[in-house]
A and B are shown apart, each in its own frame.
Chain A
């Protein structure tokens, strides 16, 4: 078993903290929550301190935020049905763009690896893809594939392929059709028996980990046309299969999951206040992998853990956000 060491508790938010996101270089962290503020944290010596507080971008809860891959922009998704894009052209982060169009609460936001596309999703059941050109944002697609509230959108780590998770219990994968530049659903991942709250791609991008209100984590694998396993792929499109289910570990809704791109470790944020880390067994069949729980921290927070994310550059470093109004910085030692 590894150990998860609490490095620091960051106070500053009033009320529930919904989301944390590391800067792509890993040296700063942004968080947001029901107080409608974004706090940017940075290191001063060994201590994390508040570097900036962004206010007045939203009139309701900020549900999630995302740094652009270049680190110069922050996009924030709010219950006020808008997405704000913050830049620091003036030296300070300022909200210079507000994206409107969703009918109600925006739940999630994600930048593609190139930074050229932004995806958003909402309780209005739709997923939107926005094209970014010189600080102009144009809606490239409104995808109405889900039948319920869409909770999360996440881009593939290398390609312009998008995955979304929903209250309708499914995950869907979307791609632009080269012929007519229409975005369409190319796969539906069905197996969870309740809301899928979050998802995370692995480093390569041929597997996805999902977490749900059904208290399980599932690992899905892509089988491309002509795969060695002889798995049939109708319409010449990849199909995704659930190759592993982690059940019996979590005792309440799992709100978030993150698959570390450097270590391959999986971490989950759960409504039972516990943070758990899973490691893939080294000698297992790639088509039927096993994951072992290598760490579990009871009362990691005093209330539900809403969000958890591995630092993109410092292996083992984690940030978590909770209903208890705290952001915590952790370090995992094997």
Chain B
């Protein structure tokens, strides 16, 4: 995206193996609840806005930072910017949010926040990501939506 990368040499992390699909999950008669692994699978392949890498490879998203409460229809995702001054934090959070909005049933209340203590503007970014009115307005901005869609587009 930008000419000068903020974090020139990010640390790479090993990707999780594909999930094994159980016989029960293939049985349409069994109610299949969302778990943190499924949510992780929805967001792990989002592209970083700067690097040709996924959020999983950069350890921005991790399965153990995802909480799902099916009864309360709650999905809470924490993400970890690669550096504490990352100017892309809001954009990354927004991409995660949009991906989950598109993939999950509308009943879910999704919250996307920065892992505590990992970003200098944590509170401000969290507040912006939690403000659905500002998120809605942002998504009507075609330029921004284009950038987000690029992050969400699957790699071949």
Contact = CB atoms under 8 A, between A and B. Distances in A.
B134 A149 contact: yes
B136 A271 contact: no
Contacts of B109: 252, 271-272
Interface string A191-235: 000110000000000000000010000000000000000000000
Given A195-B127, A271-B109, A303-B107, A16 B134 contact: no
Interface of A, secondary structure class, is loop
A107 B133 CA distance: 9
B1 interface: no
Given A60-B140, A79-B137, A79-B140, A302 B132 contact: no
Interface residues of A, number: 25
Contact of B106 (A60, A105, A303): A303
Interface string B123-144: 0000100111110110010000
A105 B137 contact: yes
B136 A61 contact: yes
A304 B132 contact: yes
A34 interface: yes
Given A302-B106, A303-B107, A123 B127 contact: no
Contacts of A149: 134
A79 B140 CA distance: 9
A167 interface: yes
Contacts, number: 36
Given A61-B136, A61-B137, A79-B140, A167 B107 contact: no
Contacts of A304: 132
Contacts of B136: 16, 34, 61, 79
A213 B140 CA distance: 23
Interface in B74-88: none
Contacts of A176: none
Contact of B134 (A123, A253, A272, A323): A123
Contacts of B107: 302-303
Nearest to A16: B136
Most chain-A CB neighbours within 10 Å: which of B132, B133, B137? B133
Interface of B: 106-107, 109, 127, 130-134, 136-137, 140
Interface of A: 16, 34, 60-61, 63, 79, 104-105, 107, 123, 149, 151, 167, 194-195, 213, 252-253, 271-272, 302-304, 323-324
29 contacts: A16-B136, A34-B136, A61-B136, A61-B137, A61-B140, A63-B133, A79-B136, A79-B137, A79-B140, A104-B137, A105-B137, A107-B133, A123-B134, A123-B137, A151-B133, A167-B127, A195-B127, A195-B131, A213-B127, A213-B130, A213-B131, A252-B109, A253-B130, A272-B109, A302-B106, A302-B107, A303-B107, A304-B132, A324-B106
